[in-house]
Each structure stands twice: as structure tokens, then as C-alpha cells.
Structure 1
Amino acid sequence: MSMGVLNGNDYINSYEGEQLGLSEEEVKKRIKEGKVNQIPKVPSRTIGQIIWANVFTLFNGINVVLALLVILAGSPKNAIFAGVIISNAIIGVIQELRAKKTIEKLTILARSKATVIRDGVEREIDVEEIVLDDLIFLKSGCQIPVDAEVLPGSKIEVNEALLTGESDYLIRNPGEQLLSGSFVGSGSGYAVVTAVGANTYSSKLSEEAKRFKKINSELQNSINKILSFLIKIIVPTGLLLTFTQMYFINKPWQEAVIGVVAGISGMIPEGLVLLTSVTFVVSIVRLSKYNTLIQELPATEVLARVDVLCLDKTGTITEGKLKVIDVKNFDISKEEAEEALSAVVHSFSVVNPTQEAILERYNQKGNFEVTNKISFSSSKKWSAVEFEDKGAWYLGAPEILYKEKYNEIKEQVFEEAERGRRVLLLAKSPRGLSEIVPADLEKAALIIIEDIIRPEAPDTLKFFDTQGVDIKIISGDNPVTVAAVAKRAGVKNADKYVVATDLPKDKEEFRKAVRENSIFGRVTPHQKKELVKALQADGHTVAMTGDGINDVLALKEADCGIAMASGSDATKAVAQLVLLDSNFASLPKVVQEGRRTINNLELAANLYLTKTVYAVILSIIFALILLPFPYEPIQLSLVGSLGIGIPSFFIALQPNEDLVQKGFLTRVLKMSLPNGIVIALSVILVSLLLNFSGVPDFKSKTICTLIIGILSMLILLRVSEPLTKLKVAVCAVMIGIFCSAFVIKICRRVFSFSHLNFYDIVIVGTCILAAVFCLAVLSRVVARFIDKREAKKENKIRAGAKK
């Protein structure tokens, strides 16, 4: 039959014929007409954008202008720092292209699928292959990829949290509209596609979901603060230095320009920005080996800072596969109970893991004729079916279905739950089906189901315990059952559990309950979100794993959302990390990679900001004391490359499993400020001494550069602790190359160094010894000052929180 633009009645007719859904010819026609669900690719930069972003930056622009000025001044060798900028840009482009390739490969693995009916055959296709008028099959947990209309015979419960922010579940009956971007909470059925591609919400869903809450990266925030501050001081300092060097110092304009460029170029920590992005993209490539897709660059950093990890029991510490252990009947025979149980689970076309376990045991459908049914949903935690001549049967959580009469079966439920088993109640209603559970339900049987613990779960949980990460198990199951399973898996404090319905309404009491308990059962999607918020209010950095639609709100609220690839599309859309093998045993690798990234970048940042600090101080002071600048750009390039740039890349990629502490910027300032101040003071005092002694600028710059270089190497050795063979080798090579620049004649010519005599060496040695002593004293003073300031800030925050 021809199927142009179809409606529900057309499909009803097609069910009775030989053909179901569109034919291949009709699909091809719609593709040709552009009526296909073509969705923009995952937001990632094109090759051109990557090149642009790495080359045409503000700091690169400043450096290019400075390089051109030096060349115009007749000293092209002093523009060598521009070569460093070019090499940095090339490295950045190569690393980001490498990461882009990795991400695209992994994204293909995580690509969403859809089930359609074509030529009467059920097929699984990419969501981008759906065409207008396609017949799609929707089931619990799947993302609705297109706008569609529910067909007769179907009844679907949807969650539109990602579209409206409301977590309520809504029933969509035949003829009603389904919006792309919403998710099927329960039920299943068919729908006809009414809008595809740009005409739906699906192409914008991922971006909008992530825009809901941007990941909080302390590292990136700190670096942005540093760069913002530098932008504010570079321009006025540069103008002041230019003015004084050109108008108050009796030197040719060419020398003045070289001095100005030396001052300004030293202030820019362009290598730190590059190193940060390169280190993040290297992390992406490394973690791809462990089947982990990083959807936001700072995700590894945030997970490394996590001190509370919220896990769902099913599919995380257990395999998600269940097994029916026993059926305990009450007032009816076991055969009758099992027959009714089998009929109930066979009444739903889409099944969850619990139904699958029952179906595996009872694979015969029976002759029950369904007259009405209510699908299971995570909010109500039960399902029900009414059969002709057999009455209405309810299946779900015992304490919810049996309510006031729950005490009759409580002891049996508790006994099984203590063994780590899940218990369902099968009950019969003397009247028809109702959306509200009848108070006079008659208990028929208890269904005992057991979870299978993942083999790798105990080791993974032990890792987080040893790392000081608190584990919270949040589940929709009975807390006693969850606690028993958690105990078997090795969760610490598994005996501290609570039913979510018993959690206090008062915020402070709620936070206290969350603080004191480790296992939370019968938790609704909204309560999961509130649990995460309560932990964050206590100052914790929270990670949340999830695989179901009921985890979406909590994943979005958590500092780091972790989704299982085998889970619903909803979780993958909002998570920062996707575990492609759906195995949370990969998380220790992510944590270790995050620690390596943050801790090593902190060490490298100490080097870069030390140079920035002394360059800023020297620029301001030499502008005020009206003396020629104490070094040339090429000389600073030598120090910067050997004492900072080259070794920082080795440092950043070294193993580092130290615990990550809060206060990245504070710790960096504690080290870089005294380092930079001491270097600046050493150079200023020596310059004044040499100037008053009549030493030529040529030699004075050589001595000052040597002092800066030696102190930079000492700081490099300090930052490299604990020293390894590789670190020692790198430092030794850097020191050797630096010293050779003062010894080898051709190198002295290239870097404009003069020959140094014994008196010069004595000055340098004395200055270094004094600087080391001053550094030890000043480090303590600066540390105390910063600590007091941070303490005042903390007290203000606490006082504000109390108010």
C-alpha cells in the first residue's frame, strides 16, 4: 500500500495487511526530499577552528607585534620568542587534532540508536536515519529522537525534564504529541514521526542539557583569573615602560624598544595556557584506552577532586542482571500465583531487568486476556494488569502496595532483604484497576529476586575507600536489600541505611541524615537530586553515576556526571563522562589521570607565574628608576625555554597520584610570589650596583640573566621534587645547555653575552646565596599572609551562610 503522509488510522490498517511501516522506496524518497533526521554533529571544533583557536589568540597577537617591533629595531635574533609561540601553536594544534580524532571514534561507539518498523520488519538504526512518517517503537528509558504522535494501542509515560525542568511523569495517550528530547519513563508503544532534523528539539538537546549546568573547573577558573589580571596590568605597565625607556634614558630608540619588548614578553605566561589545554587533550587520548569518553575537557580534573561518589546499585556495583530465587505464595496455590505472575509480566511489550528475570523463569504467556493495564514507573514503583474473568493484579514494592497492612509481611520481606535480595509483592484486587492503590488488596505471593555483584566492584570500591572518597549508594530498591548487597560488595558503613520516605523535610535535618547514612533506598528521581544538593551544601565535591532516566536530574546537579553507555540516552546526554563498556571499574583510571593532570599543572604553573611575577616587578621598577632594562628578549627566551617551557612539558606528563586539594590558585601564589619577588629584587640590586660601578650595559645584562637563570634552575629542581631519574636527567640537560650559552663563544654571540671574569662570578655567587636565604624567609611570610587572608574569606562565607 502507498503510504504518503500517514496518520494513526493508516497504521492501524497496515497492521492488518502484509506491510507495516514505510517501504524502502518511501524511505529513499523522503531522504531525497531532505525529510531525514539529520542532526548537527557533536559540538566540536573543525580543523580550521582548531588552527584559529591555537594561532590567533590575544597573547599570540601581542607577541607577534612585539616581535615585529624588535625586527624593525634591527635585532631579529631578539624576536626568537616568536618562534616559541609558533612551536607552541603547532604542538597545540597537533594535540587537539589527535584528541578530536579520538573523540569522534568514541562518539560513534556511543551513538544513539532507534527502533523503526520498515517493510514489516523491526530494525535498529542510527537516529539520524529516521525519516518523516517512520513508525518508531519506543520503550522505557529511551530518548525520543524526533517529534512523534502516539498511535492507537499505545500508552507511554514520558519525562520532559530536559525540556521543561519539571521531573513529573506525564501520560501520553493515542493521538497525543511526543516531543524529541523527552524520555520514556515507562510503558512502550508505537508512534508515527511528525517532525525530523532541524524541526525538532533533538538537534539542540545535548547542547541545551549541558548549558543547564556548566562543569566547575577550579583549574580553568584559576588560570582565567590570572590571565584576566595580567590583561589589566600589561597595557599600563607596557605604556609606562615604553615612555620611560624611550624619553628618559639616553639610549637609541632601537635599544629602548628591545628593553620594552623584553619586559612585556616576560609578563605573558602563554606556555601555561598551551600546557593546560595540551594536558587535558592528552588525558582524553589516554582515557580512550580505558573505554572512557570525556565529553567535557575538565571532567577528569573534577572527578579527581571528588570526595563523595554516589552510585546506583543496579548496573553499577551489580551487573544489572537479576535472577528469581523463589516465589512464596500466601492464600492461593503456588501454581495460581505463578500463572498470574507470568501473565502480568507478559502483558507488557517492554520489560525492565526485574521483568526479564521473571520472564526467564516463566516463559509461557498463558491464556489470560488483558482488558486494562498500568505500566510500571519509577515514581509509583508498581504496575498492574486487569484480565477478563481473572480480576486485577498488582506487582511492585511490598511497602507501597500493602501500605497499612504491610506489617503482615514485613518480617518476611525484611528477612529476605537482609540477605541482599529484592522482594516484590504480587497482590489481587477485588475490584478493577485504579491509578491509586486500593486499600483492600489481597496478598498473593512474594517474589524473591537476587542481584549479581560485578566481579570488579569490590576492588573499585576499595580503591575509593583508600583514597578518602565517601561512597553513597542511592537506589530505588528496599534499603535493607541494598545495604546487604553493598556489604557483600565491600561498601564501608553499609549498615547505615535509611528509607527515602523517612527522610526529614527540614533542610538541616535532611542534610544531617544524608551526612550520617551511606545507603538510601526507595529514592525518587527528585530525591536523588536533593541528596546531591545536600552533599554539595556540606562542601563536598560530588560525582554521580547513573544509567537510567531516573538519574538524569541528579547527574545534572552533580559536579561530575558519569553515565553508562548501556544506559538510557538521557544519562549520556547530560553526563561529562561516558563509560563505553558500562563498567565503573574504569573510574580509578580517570581519577588517577585527573590527579596527574592537576598536580603536575600546578607544579608547572609555579614556574610560569614565577617568570610573570618578576617580569611585572622589573618592568614597573625599571620604568620608575629610569635605568635600561636588565635583559634582552633573546636572553629571557633562553631562560624561559630551559628553566620553564621544555621541562614543564616533561613535568606535566609524569605520573602523579597525590591527593588533589582545594585552593589551586592559593598554593600557586604561595610559591610563585616569593620566587618572583626574590628574583626581581636580586636583579634590581645587582643592576643598581653595576650601574653605579660603571659596568657596561652589555655585561650588566649578562650578569642579570645568569642570576635569573640560576635561580630559575634552583626553582625547577624544587618544583621537580620528588626527583626521579627522568626529572634529574631533564634538569641536568637544561642546566648544561644554559651554562654552555655563557661558555661557548658562538652561543655568547647569539645571546649577546659578554665574557665574565672572577669578580663577576663572585657577584653572581654572593647574590645567589643571599637570594636563597631571602627566599626561605619570604616564603614563610607570604604563606602566612595568604593563609590569614584565606581564613578571613572563609569566616566571612561561614558568617554569611549562618545568616
Structure 2
Amino acid sequence: MTERTDTEVVTRNTGLTSGEVAERVARGEVNDVPVRSSRSTTEIVRANVFTRFNAIIGFLFLIILVVGPIQDGLFGFVIVANTAIGIIQELRAKRTLDSLAVIGEAKPSVRRDGASAEIHTSEIVLGDLIELGPGDKVVVDGVIEEADGLEIDESLLTGEADPVLKRAGDQAMSGSFVVAGGGAFTATKVGREAYAAQLADEASRFTLVNSELRNGISQILKYVMWMMVPTAVGLIISQFTVESHDGREAVRRTVGGIVPMVPEGLVLLTSVAFAIGVIRLGRKQCLVQELPAIEGLARVDIVCLDKTGTLTEGGMDVSDLRPLDGADPDHVARVLSALGASDPRPNASLQAIIDAYPKPADAVDGSPAPGWRCTEALPFSSARKYSGAAFNEPDGTSSTWLLGAPDVLLPAGHASLAEIDQLNNEGLRVLLLARTDRALDDPRVAESVTPYALVVLEQRLRPDAGDTLRYFAEQNVQTKVISGDNAVSVGAVAGKLGLPGAEEPVDARQLPTDQGAMARVLENGTVFGRVTPQQKRDMVGALQSRGHNVAMTGDGVNDVLALKDADIGVSMGSGSEATRAVAQIVLLNNSFATLPSVVAEGRRVIGNITRVATLFLTKTVYSVLLAVLVVCWQVPYPFLPRHLTLLSTLTIGVPAFFLALAPNKERARPHFVRRVMRYSAPAGIICGIAAMLTYLLARHHYTGSGSLDAETSAATLTLFLMEVWVLAIVARPYTWWRIGLVLAMGVGFVIVLVVPWLQDFFALKLVGTQMPWTAVGIAVAGGVVLEFVWAWVRRRDAA
């Protein structure tokens, strides 16, 4: 609260001059912290190239280059191609994110040469005078110069939930945000010297942390490394013992056994799938500030919505003014006009009043109307639910007025509340104009007020909100409307949109404070009104305590704490700078209807990566098993690197790219590692046993012929058919293109078998008819076993 005088207006700080700004720029005193939404190009290249598995594959590739022939080193070229694809896709995603970040970047108002102008945060210089209003984030450190009821929330920095009332001379910390009032501060620390500069930089990075998919894949890769080391050592000793007469052949067979153990494309395809998701959502004006948010929103089972700005559009209209107890309508209109003029940064409700009762054209600067003079102002706060101002009126009297929630300002049982409830039941928002005899700085200012009028506001429903609510209902995602408005009014709005349970709204003032009891009420209810900012945060925590994955949407400064604590925070692009700063997803087009696209994209990524991971890990399992069996039987490894490169390309590499990017509406489920291993482990074991059985029978069948190529070719045929069978299972449910994909891979293998130069290149030639048909028979038998095992695992997975 501040006293307003004409002197204050005249002597206000005019800020730096253009010359002073130029001097500071020349000295480098600029807020040069880059606004980053993604990793740098160097980081992207480094992350894709310098991986543990690329090092292993690269080392084996160099060995093959020494011992030859080059066709056994094809796996090295495949890795180069995969890495290049990963880099290109992530760079595309980076460009999308960077361009969206620029669009969504908030521009603080800076006063220079006595005039206010919006500039980029990177253009702020030391000593700039930066203006603040509700929802604005403090972008650099500074000292408060002007304070008009300025309340700043520093909870994101200090953990203290209560906002701090700021006065001239107080410190302003970067990373905090304004919850009420306005003012201005002088920048004392800019760039990387600012308190929250590094935190803000990290908060906007394109990252893959805290992702169940990424964490699960990392866990799988650890298991693979543990299996690879002892298996590879045993295989090396075995092959050099068996092939003691031919060291080069021993090297090739050893490399052929180690290379397929590495699920080299799994990390790549995960990154590509996420990157493609970012690009697709970017085209819909959806900024994903943290990459796992795509995955995270697909996993949520409860979406908490703030009514204003989400179900309704930001603007409102005054539909009716109802004076109470014989109040003069003209005087009421003048008071409303004065209240509107007293707040330099009005919220949506007050803006509607300003539009309906504008400041008179002949009003003197610094006064709300001719003869009116504002002496004190109390900005609106979502915690107290009202605003106010004190005036010297034209007749010389002094008056203090409050404008806010009727059920907060009026005592229970007041006669006007019945009329208000009826209006709320119609989905209208009602504000009470009341006069008080207490001073605005009195903590009891809202007690014993005299009601003067009801201001009836009509909210504008978003045309797409109803369809979006129905989408979430169809996807078994619960929707909770959490608002600071009157519960009955919120319920009426939600009811118009067809939200089940809206007819029984809950007043949050009646909610239990115990977390467990609160969670039970929240699970049973749908609409909650009169929720304070701290309660929103508590409600999110209560739902999370019951094992729910919670998404929170909002656009107001009162949503910041809840957005920060929710599993996924979603902010509207037109929302306050503070909400955009803490949210993982920003809807730049302000359309709530974009959320289903984010959910669908997340489900596509999760479902498809689960499919792809099954393919890759099936190969890893059978490769380890084959190595163990080879060591036990003391025979040459069945395959050369070129054979497994061919099989991996046709049954995993090419299909995986199509499957990873295909549509997938399957609901996301937890326990990624467990579910993938349930399928891939038995599939890999069956494939490995079938291939080894064929190989041992072929060695017996071709005894004395010295035709290792014939034995390898028979085993390769069985393994290919088994892998194609796994691919056919993973590709279900079938569509025309999935069937075509499986058939195309089969045709590709047949071409290799029938084209002479390809036969020679890949050392594949089926000898005779008995053994090739035996290989086919073993593959068919293995496929039948695979179907039974897969069906059994699916039943267990669904249980």
C-alpha cells in the first residue's frame, strides 16, 4: 500500500538515458545470460558421438579393418549413419525449440529516458530501472526504487511460501516473482552475477533427465555391460582355441559374437523419437521446455485445471450492476471507475470493470476522475481475494472501498448471499463493492463492511474446452478443476462443459488439512472453489501421496507453486512470466485443446520405444546366449559380422525407425524395464536355441565337406526367420504398412540369397535342400513356441 500524490508522479525515477545505456553496453555491463531452450550444437554432437558403445563398436571396427574383409566391417558404417541421423534430428529439434523460446520469451518493461518500453532480457544493462507488475518475474538482482503494495514471492529461491511485502530500498532477487501490486527496481547485478542466473539457465535447458524411458534404458545398458565383459572374454579364448590354425578367422568370429550384444541403436532411436515429438509439437505452437515432459504428460492420470485462462478465456464482460440497499447507481459507477484507475496493472476482473466504467476523459493526470484523489491502494491478491483503495472524493469526504469475493467480505448468512448463489449457479462471476471504515493497512479491514453493489461478470468459455475434457475422460484421465473463484460458480462453468461431478462443487475452505484426508476428498470430488495458492500446492502434493501422476495447468501467478510441484506443469503462453518459467510445457497458442496432442505424442514415444527396445534386446539376449553355447560346445562362432549386420538391418534397424515414429495410442504404463525384459528375454532365448540347434545339425550334416559357409548359411536362415517372427509380433496390431514392412524385409533377405554377387558379398549360400528345409522347420517350430510364450507373458502383463 502506498500513498499517491501528484508530487510522486512528477518526481518519479526516469531511468537511464540512452547515452548511459550505450556506455554500459560498451563496458560489457549487459545481462548476457543466453536464453537457451536446448543443448548447444557442440553438446549435441558430443552426446551422440562419444558414447560408451560407440567406443566399443569403433574399436571392433578398427580391428576388422586390419584383418578384413571390409564387408565384415559394415556394422561400423551403420553406426556412423545412425549417429549422423541422431545428430541431424536433434539439431532440427534444437532449431524448433530455440525459435519457440524466442516467441515465448517474456519482455520486461524498462524505463529509459522517462518512457517505458519492453526489451529482451539480454538487453538489460546495469542500473536499468525495471518495472514490475503482478505475475512478472524478477529477471536480475536489484534494489526496489518504487513500491505500490508490492508483494514478491521468493519461495522458488528461499522455500518460504508467504509473499514478502517490499518497500523502497529492499532487495529484489532474481528468480522471485510478483504476486500483488507493482513497482520498479534498479538492476544491481546482471548476467551471470545475478543470484538465479544459473538456475534459470538450467531450468530452460533441453534435457533428458528424470525420464523413466531414459533411466530404464540406462539401467538396461548397465546390465548389458555386465553380461558383455565375461561373455566376450570367454568367447575370445574359445575362438582362438578353436580356430588356432587361422587367427584372422578367429578374430572375425569373435567380433561377430561381440557386436550384436550391443543395442547400439536403442539410445539413438529414443533420442530421435523425442526429437521428432518436439518438432511435431512445435508446429502446433507447443514449447516443450524439458524433453521428458512429452513422456511425463502421457503418464499422468489426473489433470488439475485452473478455470480462468484454461476452461475460460482470459477476458470477461460486465453483464450487470446491482446496487444494494438503495445505493446511488451513479455514485457506484464513479467508485468503480475510480477503483479501476487506481490500479496501474489490473487483473482480468478489474479490466472488465475498467472497460465498462472507463476513466473520464477530463480527469487530471494522477487522479481517477475530476475531484477524486487516490490516497492509498491495496492491489488484488489471490490469497486475500479482494483489492481496495482509499479516496478523497469531490465533496471533500474520505472513503475506503473494497472490491472482491462476496463470500469473503460478507458474513455467513448475509441476505445478499442468496442472490449471489443464484448468480453463481448460472455460471456468472460476482464481485462485491463494499465500503469499510477501517484503514487499508488494518488486518481486519475486510470485517464489518457495508455492501454497496454487486458487479456481475460473464466469463467467456473456450470453444474447445468441452472436447478436451471429453478426450481426457475417454483416456481414463481424471480432471480436477481447482480455482480461486466461488465453488458454485466454478461448478456451473464446468457443468456447461459437460464435466461429470461438476454439480457437486467443493468449497476448499472446508477441506481437511491432513494430507491423507484431503487426498480422499480430492479423489472423490471434481470441482473445487475458493482455493488459495498454498492450497493448490497442498492439493497437488496430496494427490501425489496417493500414487497419482499429476499435471497442473494454469496461467496466473497464483498457479506457480502448484505448477512447480506437479509432475508436469503446463502454462498458457499468455500467462504470467513466472508460470512460463516454472512450467515444463508452454502452450504458446493459449489453446487448452493442444494438450491432447501432447498426450498423444507422449504415448506414441513410450509405446513405440517399448516395441523397439524389445527388438534390440532380443538380439542382445540371443547374442549372449549364442556366445555361452559356443564356449560350452567349443565350436566356431556360427556367424561373421556381415551376417549379423545384414540380419540387424533387415529385422531391427530399418523396421525400428518406422515403428519408433508410427502412431500409437496405447496408454502409457509404468515399469518399462520389467515389461521389456519380460518379452525380450524369452524371445532372445528361443531365437538363440533355434539358431544354435540348426548350426549344430548343419555341422553334423556337412561333416567332412569343410563348408563352414554352408553351416553358417543354414543357421543364418533360421535366425532370420526367427527374428522376422519377433518383428511380426512386435508390429501388431497390423495395418497395411506394418504388413508391408515385414514382407519387405523378407523380400530383402530373399534377394540376398538369390543374387550371386550378394551371395558372395555376404558369404551366404544354401547348400542342398535337406538342411535349408530343416532350418525352416526349426524356425517354424521356434515361432510356434514364441507365440505361446508371448501370449503367456501378455496375460501376465495385463494381470
TM range (shorter): over 0.9
**Offset at 1:618?**
1.0
**Offset at 1:411?**
0.9
**Offset at 1:379?**
1.3
Q: 1:798 is matched with which residue?
A: none
Which deviates the most, 576-585 or 335-344? 335-344
**Offset at 1:782?**
5.2
Which deviates the most, 159-168 or 650-659? 650-659
Residue 379 of structure 2, aligned match among 375, 380, 399: 375
**Offset at 1:317?**
1.0
Alignment of 1:64 onto 2:58: yes
Q: Quick one: distance in 2 between partners of 1:167 and 1:209?
A: 20
Identity of aligned residues (%): 40
**Offset at 1:152?**
4.5
Q: 1:439 to 1:43 in 2, by over 3 A?
A: closer
Alignment of 1:729 onto 2:740: yes
**Offset at 1:470?**
1.3
Q: 2:272 is matched with which residue?
A: 278
Residue 629 of structure 1, aligned match among 637, 641, 664: 637
Which deviates the most, 483-492 or 37-46? 37-46
Residue 773 of structure 1, aligned match among 764, 784, 794: 784
User: Does the aligned pair in 2 maintain the 1:319–1:452 contact within 8 Å?
Assistant: yes
Alignment of 1:427 onto 2:429: no
Which amino acid in the other structure matches residue 422 of structure 1? R
User: Does the aligned pair in 2 maintain the 1:146–1:195 contact within 8 Å?
Assistant: yes
Residue 355 of structure 2, aligned match among 350, 355, 360: 360
Q: How many residue pairs get matched?
A: 775
Q: Quick one: distance in 2 between partners of 1:305 and 1:272?
A: 21
Q: What is the SS of the residue equivalent to 1:261?
A: helix
Residue 286 of structure 2, aligned match among 287, 292, 315: 292
Q: Quick one: distance in 1 between partners of 2:93 and 2:164?
A: 41
Q: Quick one: distance in 1 between partners of 2:85 and 2:476?
A: 36
Q: Quick one: distance in 2 between partners of 1:106 and 1:734?
A: 39
**Offset at 1:84?**
0.5
Q: 2:709 is matched with which residue?
A: 698
Q: 2:3 is matched with which residue?
A: none
Alignment of 1:411 onto 2:418: yes
Q: What is the SS of the residue equivalent to 1:709?
A: helix
Q: Quick one: distance in 2 between partners of 1:215 and 1:381?
A: 38
**Offset at 1:542?**
1.7
Q: 1:39 is matched with which residue?
A: 33
User: Does the aligned pair in 2 maintain the 1:167–1:525 contact within 8 Å?
Assistant: no
Q: Quick one: distance in 2 between partners of 1:780 and 1:321?
A: 55
User: Does the aligned pair in 1 maintain the 2:147–2:166 contact within 8 Å?
Assistant: no
Q: What is the SS of the residue equivalent to 2:452?
A: strand
Residue 648 of structure 2, aligned match among 625, 640, 647: 640
Which amino acid in the other structure matches residue 438 of structure 2? R
**Offset at 1:202?**
4.4
Q: Quick one: distance in 1 between partners of 2:694 and 2:794?
A: 26
Q: 1:716 to 1:187 in 2, by over 3 A?
A: same
**Offset at 1:694?**
4.9
Q: Quick one: distance in 2 between partners of 1:582 and 1:240?
A: 60
Residue 334 of structure 1, aligned match among 326, 329, 346: 329
Q: What is the SS of the residue equivalent to 1:448?
A: strand
Alignment of 1:530 onto 2:538: yes
Q: 1:145 is matched with which residue?
A: 139
Which amino acid in the other structure matches residue 550 of structure 2? V
Which amino acid in the other structure matches residue 78 of structure 1? D
Q: Quick one: distance in 2 between partners of 1:538 and 1:150?
A: 43
Which amino acid in the other structure matches residue 511 of structure 1? A
Q: 1:748 to 1:493 in 2, by over 3 A?
A: same
User: Does the aligned pair in 1 maintain the 2:208–2:292 contact within 8 Å?
Assistant: no
**Offset at 1:19?**
8.8
Which amino acid in the other structure matches residue 461 of structure 1? L
**Offset at 1:523?**
1.0
Residue 495 of structure 1, aligned match among 495, 498, 503: 503
Q: 1:3 is matched with which residue?
A: none
Unaligned residue ranges in structure 2 (runs of 5+) = 1-5, 360-367
Q: What is the SS of the residue equivalent to 1:151?
A: strand
**Offset at 1:97?**
1.2
**Offset at 1:181?**
1.0
Q: 2:365 is matched with which residue?
A: none
Residue 485 of structure 1, aligned match among 493, 505, 509: 493
Q: 1:13 to 1:150 in 2, by over 3 A?
A: farther
Alignment of 1:262 onto 2:256: yes
Residue 662 of structure 2, aligned match among 650, 654, 659: 654
Q: What is the SS of the residue equivalent to 1:313?
A: coil
**Offset at 1:408?**
3.0
User: Does the aligned pair in 2 maintain the 1:99–1:285 contact within 8 Å?
Assistant: yes
Aligned residue runs from structure 1 range 127-526, under 5 A: 127-152=121-146, 154-207=148-201, 209=203, 216-247=210-241, 250-331=244-325, 332-364=327-359, 365-366=368-369, 367-388=371-392, 389-402=397-410, 404-433=411-440, 434-526=442-534
Unaligned residue ranges in structure 1 (runs of 5+) = 1-11, 792-803
Q: 1:70 to 1:384 in 2, by over 3 A?
A: same
Q: Quick one: distance in 2 between partners of 1:180 and 1:782?
A: 53
Which amino acid in the other structure matches residue 616 of structure 1? V
Which amino acid in the other structure matches residue 610 of structure 2? E
Alignment of 1:53 onto 2:47: yes
**Offset at 1:438?**
4.7
Q: What is the SS of the residue equivalent to 1:598?
A: helix
Q: TM-score normalised to the size of structure 2?
A: 0.93
Q: What is the SS of the residue equivalent to 2:540?
A: helix
Q: Quick one: distance in 1 between partners of 2:493 and 2:755?
A: 71
- Cα offsets for 1:223-261 (capped at 9, x unmatched): 121111112221121112112222355442222221221
Q: What is the SS of the residue equivalent to 1:314?
A: coil
Alignment of 1:682 onto 2:682: no
Residue 559 of structure 1, aligned match among 555, 564, 567: 567
User: Does the aligned pair in 2 maintain the 1:670–1:779 contact within 8 Å?
Assistant: no
Which deviates the most, 742-751 or 592-601? 592-601
Q: Quick one: distance in 2 between partners of 1:280 and 1:585?
A: 21
User: Does the aligned pair in 1 maintain the 2:655–2:741 contact within 8 Å?
Assistant: yes
User: Does the aligned pair in 1 maintain the 2:714–2:766 contact within 8 Å?
Assistant: no
Q: What is the SS of the residue equivalent to 1:407?
A: coil
Residue 552 of structure 2, aligned match among 541, 544, 550: 544
- Cα offsets for 1:256-292 (capped at 9, x unmatched): 2212211111111111111110111111111111111
Q: 1:292 to 1:130 in 2, by over 3 A?
A: same
Q: Quick one: distance in 2 between partners of 1:204 and 1:295?
A: 16
User: Does the aligned pair in 2 maintain the 1:116–1:125 contact within 8 Å?
Assistant: yes
User: Does the aligned pair in 2 maintain the 1:19–1:119 contact within 8 Å?
Assistant: no
Q: TM-score normalised to the size of structure 1?
A: 0.92
